[in-house]
Amino acid sequence: MHSLRPIHNRLHRLFGRGHADFFDTAAERWEICPAETVEIMPGIWLPDQIEHISRTEFGALPDILAQMQGNPAERTPPTMGYRFRDVDFVDGVLHARGAERHLRQRKRSGLTYSRPRESLSGALYESWIGNRWFGNWLLNDCLAYRLAEAAGMPVTSAPVRGGHIARYEELLGMAPRRIGEVHFDELVLFDDLHNNSHRRARAQENRARILKDRPLEPLPGVFIFRGASGDARILENEAKIAERLEAEYGFRTLYIDRHDADQLAEAAGAARLVVGVEGSQLAHGVIAMAPGGTVLTLQPADRVTTSLKLLTDCWQQHYAMVVGSGTARGYRVEWDQIRRTLDLIAAQNPQNPS
């Protein structure tokens, strides 16, 4: 049996009725955490860094500046739960009456689809950005899992994976039901991207799970080496920076292709500084480092972003940035900029090493 929901949704758009918000189709909604006023800590960077920016990513320059400015009293929206009925999940897309929600890039085209044969009810915790980037999976989707397990049966379309992901799922006590194309008799989703007290508490719960029973010996900092992994952000003098941080500050260098999740957690969990090229590999440091620590990102001038700051805000860590010269396909960060930024971090946050 074929479903005409894609045609129905397209006709809505063609006749000017817009693209319905998926959450508007919910049969029930409830507040998990009310709106709150929270402190957003300012970012740390040298006064001349704005002049180095040639292009921004995931937001315009005013957004970057606002994030770096912080806010001592930011109004944060509530965390919400939503219950839907009669939803199809096909080819990475949730189809309800009059609305769609994409969780993955579609692999097939067409205006109809075959209705899934399997039916179930569950709480879905995955997201488009979590399916796209490891860091968002670890620091966003794994927080939503805590909501899903409380709401019912956690489900995900992500296949079984090895490496760091499999171990993190084990450490975080995640045992979802893995689904293909299914019909949901009832589906629970969450609006959980606001750093209120409930979300921050779940972040510390996940950190505690990661570090449970681990002896942590204090470490000045860790440098998480990115190299050529992930989307291109090639820091040409990355190895030299790692060497100087080791020699002059007592850092330890971590390699995501050599160290497993346990080794990464133990080192970052003991550190007060996590430094590296801006990217998902720094999520290993964010999830484990204690509140009050600092994440220092080294960024190319043509891809400056504060997307990671939204996550350090949740983990109640400080966020710092150095903008290098060059492009994401090849750039350099001068040691003097790093040294002066470390001095600034130490001055603003004395518990960090200088």
Residues 245 and 304 occupy one common structural domain = yes
Give the range among 5-14, 15-24, 235-244 with minimum mean pLDDT.
Answer: 5-14
Residues 230 and 314 occupy one common structural domain = yes
- Residue 214 in any domain: the answer is no
- Confidence at residue 179, expressed as pLDDT on a 0 to 100 scale: 96
CA distances from 205 to 7, 231, 233 (A): 44, 30, 32
Q: How far apart are CA 191 and CA 129, in angstroms?
A: 14
pLDDT at 14 over 90: no
pLDDT at 296 over 50: yes
Residues 155 and 260 occupy one common structural domain = no
- Residue 341 in any domain: the answer is yes
Q: Express each pLDDT in 89-140 by its tens digit.
A: 999 999 998 799 999 988 887 667 788 989 999 999 999 999 999 999 999 9
Residues 276 and 307 occupy one common structural domain = yes
Instruction: Count structural domains, the chain.
Output: 2
Residues 97 and 119 occupy one common structural domain = yes
Residue 187, classed as helix, strand or coil, is strand
Query: HSE-up of 96 (CA within 13 Å, CB side)?
Result: 23
Residues 185 and 325 occupy one common structural domain = no
CATH code for the domain in which residue 227 is found: 3.40.50
- Residue 319 in any domain: the answer is yes
Q: How confident is the model at residue 10 (pLDDT cuts 50, 70, 90)?
A: very low
pLDDT at 350 over 70: no
Residue 273 domain boundaries: 40-75+219-348
Token couple for 122: 């569950």
Q: How far apart are CA 301 and CA 324, in angstroms?
A: 6
Residues 188 and 256 occupy one common structural domain = no
- Residue 203 in any domain: the answer is no
Average confidence score pLDDT of the chain: 91
Residues 173 and 49 occupy one common structural domain = no
- Residue 342 in any domain: the answer is yes
- Residue 201 in any domain: the answer is no
| Closest to 253 in 3D by CA, of 283, 232, 274 | 274
Q: What is the mean pLDDT of residues 255-267?
A: 95
Residues 84 and 69 occupy one common structural domain = no
Give the range among 24-33, 94-103, 260-269, 296-305 with minimum mean pLDDT.
Answer: 94-103
Q: What is the mean pLDDT of residues 19-29?
A: 88
Strand arrangement, sheet containing 252-255? 252-255, 222-225, 273-277, 294-299, 318-323
pLDDT at 210 over 60: yes
CA–centroid distance for 309 within its chain: 10
Q: Express each pLDDT in 180-198 by its tens digit.
A: 999 999 999 999 999 999 9
DSSP 137-185: IIIIIHHHHHHHHHHS-EEE-PPP--HHHHHHHHHTT--PEE-SSEEEE
Residues 22 and 151 occupy one common structural domain = yes
- Residue 204 in any domain: the answer is no
- Confidence at residue 154, expressed as pLDDT on a 0 to 100 scale: 98
Residues 325 and 223 occupy one common structural domain = yes
Q: With the C-alpha atoms ordered 65, 230, 228, 276, is the resulting torsion angle positive or negative?
A: positive
- Residue 284 in any domain: the answer is yes
Q: How far apart are CA 130 and CA 136, in angstroms?
A: 5
Are the C-beta atoms of residues 96 and 86 closer than 8 Å to each other?
yes
What is the pTM (predicted TM-score) of this model? 0.90
Residues 344 and 258 occupy one common structural domain = yes
